[in-house]
Chains A and B, each alone.
Chain A
Amino acid sequence: MAHRTRQLPEHTEESDAPDPSRAADGEAPPDLRIRLVPKRHTGRAFAAALVGLALAAAAWSVVTNPRFQWDVVGQWLTARTIMEGLLLTLWLTALSMAAGVAIGIVLAVMSSSKNRLLSGAAAAYVWFFRGTPLLVQLLFWFNMSAVYPRIVVGLPFGGPELAAFNANHVITPMTAAFLGLALHESAYMAEIVRAGILSVPQGQIRAASALGMTRLQTMRKIVLPQAMRVIVPPTGNQTISMLKTTSLVSVLAIPDLLYSAQIVYSRNFQTIPLLIVATVLYLVTVSVLTLVQSWIERKFSPDGARERRPRTGARTTALDRRLP
């Protein structure tokens, strides 16, 4: 076998600076170019061949096994009922995530409070909602009307009532799903936000305080924007995870992506093709979200990735969003 030789880029010989080695006695300089024969990685090549073979075999079986019924997959992939299910999944993900982040921030600020009751309550909340399975929480919310048949807005301990609702009407499967997902998520988000806040050096808070900023101003303008760098990456992961977790709400008979597929295959018995449809759509959505996530992450490191680009006076527009 002929060895490949590779020419490495060299320093230009034609530089204007006088070369001391050459100038010395007019002799030709020694040839220092590298004609490279890369070392071989036999084990690596063997492993790659093995994995390649396995992949090819798997692909061949997937394509040729008629029981995958790819024609049925293609037929249902963009069907209206499936698309509506996907839409509901996305909607539920966005709604639960938004509420989860909002409650999570409140919990994180509470847990950093010097008041023991506030920080203790936040800790207890996190302990409870992280400590129980989401599926159990969903079922509990769904059956809430058994515990509280009437939901009352008013003063506690037998005070006057402003409004009362029948729990069976208020806690629809969709509200139960939203409550379960959002409250469960907020417990995780609380920890993520807390870690973000703790990552901001104390000196930043001291400097803001020395300039006369109140605690709230410091939190909003100095701490949270910097905490975002630490908060955003795991929040992206949580969102992606949430998208997949919403499939649990199929137990509440909510027509999300998975349950819509289940409805179809309970009628036409094409179980495998419809599960593939759901799988493909989950994969596509997760891939898109992953792209969005990496874009947002780049956006939230203003002094890292972005500063290398040439900048003009237009830079100040970004600040307008952050300052009052």
Chain B
Amino acid sequence: MTPEVLVRAEQVHKSYQRNEVLKGVDLEVRRGEVMCLIGPSGSGKSTFLRCINLLEQIQHGRLWVDGELLGYRQRGDTLHELSEKEQSRQRADIGMVFQDFNLFSHYTALENVIAAPMIVRGESRAAAVERATALLERVGLGDKLHAYPRRLSGGQQQRVAIARALAMRPKVMLFDEPTSALDPELVGEVLDVIGDLADEGLTMIIVTHEIGFARRVADSLAFMDAGVVVESGRPADVIDAPQHPRTQAFLSKVL
């Protein structure tokens, strides 16, 4: 039995005014799979992630998460845009970790993690705090519960951001270059946390420039360039024996 597909993208197009960023992205991520997206800057990787989280509206194609069409309801051959509430519910099931952390700066680490479960899911304070504390301990920040983001290093902030996303018990986690804004010596601590999540079988799509990390944790690797997935497959195959000249050119520069 093949594992079911959790995230599916079909011919996703996205453009800003005249500038077409995504030119038909096809991708499938199975439940429990870790997929790394690599590619040069401007290739559309981050935009694609934001489309999955409905932060961007696509102009063509379809996106499904867990069998549910994202952003629309299909009636016959027309698509009806979901209400804001329905879109928010879909987003709540999709965790997102940003390049620049985006912790809520008026909340402490703990408050950052309990905010969405309480506000969005209506969880009780006690339950939210208990779970948030456990999550923050798991990412190694049990002693920083009451610290404000400004007092945390970039690596610590990003780990809080991961705990914050996990607190919503997402079906899939999206990482948008989670270590690109970090000082080199802080990259490791964040990658370790993501690696642990991979071991636990969380479904993840990770946009990254860390090829070594991708080779280690990814079940599959997709190389994007100029708005399309050029090549995908097992990480070792793509990295060590790229088939497409553009993949070869990119990897020869970054490896």
Contact = CB atoms under 8 A, between A and B. Distances in A.
Given A221-B119, A311-B146, A324-B119, A211 B106 contact: no
A294 interface: no
Interface string B116-150: 10111010010001000000000000000010111
B115 A221 contact: yes
A203 B118 contact: no
B148 A212 contact: no
A303 B105 contact: yes
Contacts, number: 92
Given A203-B98, A203-B102, A213 B146 contact: no
A222 B84 contact: no
A212 B102 contact: no
Interface in B156-193: 161, 164-165, 168
B88 to A, nearest CB: 5
A204 interface: yes
B88 A226 contact: no
Interface string A296-319: 000000110001000101011001
Contact-residue bracket for chain A: 20 to 34
Interface residues on B, range: 35 or more
Nearest to B100: A203
B69 interface: no
B119 A323 contact: yes
A203 B97 CA distance: 11
A302 B119 contact: no
A303 B106 contact: yes
Nearest to A226: B106
Contacts of A212: 88-89, 91-93, 116, 120, 168
A225 B105 CA distance: 10
A22 interface: no
B208 interface: no
- What 10 pairs across the A-B complex have the smallest Cβ distances? A212-B92, A303-B148, A207-B102, A211-B116, A203-B102, A210-B96, A212-B120, A212-B91, A212-B88, A214-B88
Given A210-B96, A324-B118, A324-B119, 15 more contacts: A204-B102, A204-B104, A206-B55, A206-B102, A207-B102, A209-B55, A210-B95, A212-B88, A212-B93, A212-B116, A214-B84, A222-B106, A303-B148, A307-B151, A323-B118
Interface of B: 53, 55, 84-85, 88-89, 91-96, 98, 100, 102-108, 110-111, 114-116, 118-120, 122, 125, 129, 146, 148-151, 161, 164-165, 168
